[in-house]
């Protein structure tokens, strides 16, 4: 079974830079595992690889989902497997790089195979939600799948909708379907974790957001809203975009929006580190180590 070099770590730590340098040395291609960089038109606020960086190395699974559409970790796993196979067939080496833990887990610890989201059923449920409210949907879920309903928070809109959608599509409770045996992953990860001392990482996060503002983040958000994208969509509710939208709507001052975005990003980084620390055998490296690329390649190749 192929061991896939997988570079993970908190936001702003410098994963993409290291991954590109490794890819250049080993004929690699990068598969992004970032749940924000998948969206088209969201460039500055997602710290998406630049055109210059993308000219150096092929980077897959970025910039391909419409901002008003949803994309699940299960879809990511399927798409990533296809890309891994394509890269290997070309004689190149796939490298997974990103900080979305659910994406990483779904690829190497596959989820139960459930039906993909259906637009008609989803729209019906959204209309029902708008007309009757979340409590009504939760009670409906309790009647068709009490086991799943009792496992989740009664205010967890996404999981309530998913439970009802799966039941509508299959006639079976989601709780029954996820008890079936999971399939095994086609690949084994070789994990590399990048991290910095907390204060240094937090300073990087703050500085990067200042750079985003200087590079036109507010103008980018204005452009997205002008194009008609829903400010309540998954894409625009991500950190950075959500706060700038609140500023543009007059809900926050510019200074408050900036501080809120920085604070939420720091908290997010903390959660990422906690998540990745649970991975057995993860090797941590400092991105400031001058020999980091050489050391990673040497250890991975043995």
Q: What is the pLDDT of residues 132-181, one digit of tens each?
A: 988 999 999 999 999 988 988 888 888 898 889 888 888 888 888 776 65
When computed from its CA atoms, the radius of gyration of the chain, rounded to whole angstroms, is 21
| CA–CA dist 60, 94 (Å, integer) | 10
Q: How large a percentage of the chain has pLDDT more than 90?
A: 70
Q: What is the pLDDT of residues 80-128, one digit of tens each?
A: 999 999 999 999 999 999 999 999 999 998 766 667 777 788 888 888 8
CA angle 269, 56, 298 (to 5 degrees): 70
| CA–CA dist 196, 200 (Å, integer) | 6
Locus of tokens 């920085």: 262
C-beta of residue 29 within 8 angstroms of C-beta of residue 57? yes
- Identify the pLDDT of residue 2: 75
Instruction: Name the helix (H) or strand (E) containing 32.
Output: strand 28-32
Q: What is the pLDDT of residues 39-49, one digit of tens each?
A: 999 999 999 99
Q: Domains of the chain (ranges plus CATH)?
A: 3-111+184-204+271-301 (3.40.50.300), 119-177 (1.10.20.140)
| CA–CA dist 46, 29 (Å, integer) | 20
Q: What is the pTM of this model?
A: 0.83
Q: How confident is the model at residue 8 (pLDDT cuts 50, 70, 90)?
A: very high
């Amino acid at each position: 079974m192929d061991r896939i070099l997988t570079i993970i770590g908190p936001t702003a730590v410098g994963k993409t830079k290291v991954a590109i340098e490794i890819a250049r040395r080993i004929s690699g291609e990068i598969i992004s595992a970032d749940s924000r960089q998948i969206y088209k038109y969201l460039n500055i606020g997602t710290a998406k690889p630049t055109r210059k960086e993308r000219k150096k190395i092929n980077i897959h699974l970025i910039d391909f989902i419409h901002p008003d559409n949803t994309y699940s970790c299960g879809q990511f796993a399927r798409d990533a497997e296809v890309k891994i196979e394509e890269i290997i067939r070309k004689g190149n080496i796939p490298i997974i790089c990103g900080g979305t833990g659910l994406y990483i887990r779904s690829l190497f610890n596959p989820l139960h195979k459930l039906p993909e989201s259906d637009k008609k059923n989803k729209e019906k449920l959204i209309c029902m939600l708008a007309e009757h409210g979340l409590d009504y949907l939760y009670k409906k879920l309790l009647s068709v799948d009490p086991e799943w309903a009792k496992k989740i928070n009664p205010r967890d809109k996404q999981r309530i909708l998913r439970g009802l959608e799966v039941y509508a599509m299959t006639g079976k409770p989601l709780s029954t379907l996820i008890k079936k045996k999971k399939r095994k992953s086609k690949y084994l990860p070789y994990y590399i974790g990048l991290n910095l001392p907390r204060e240094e990482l937090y300073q990087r996060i703050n500085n990067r957001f200042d750079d985003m503002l200087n590079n036109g983040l507010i103008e980018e958000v204005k452009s997205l809203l002008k194009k008609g994208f829903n400010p309540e969509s998954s894409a625009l509710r991500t950190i950075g975009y959500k706060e700038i939208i609140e500023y543009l709507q007059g809900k926050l001052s510019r200074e408050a929006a900036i501080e809120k975005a920085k604070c939420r990003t720091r908290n997010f980084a903390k959660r990422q580190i906690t998540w990745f620390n649970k991975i057995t055998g993860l090797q941590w490296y400092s991105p400031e180590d001058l020999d980091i690329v050489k050391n990673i390649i040497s250890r991975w190749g043995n």
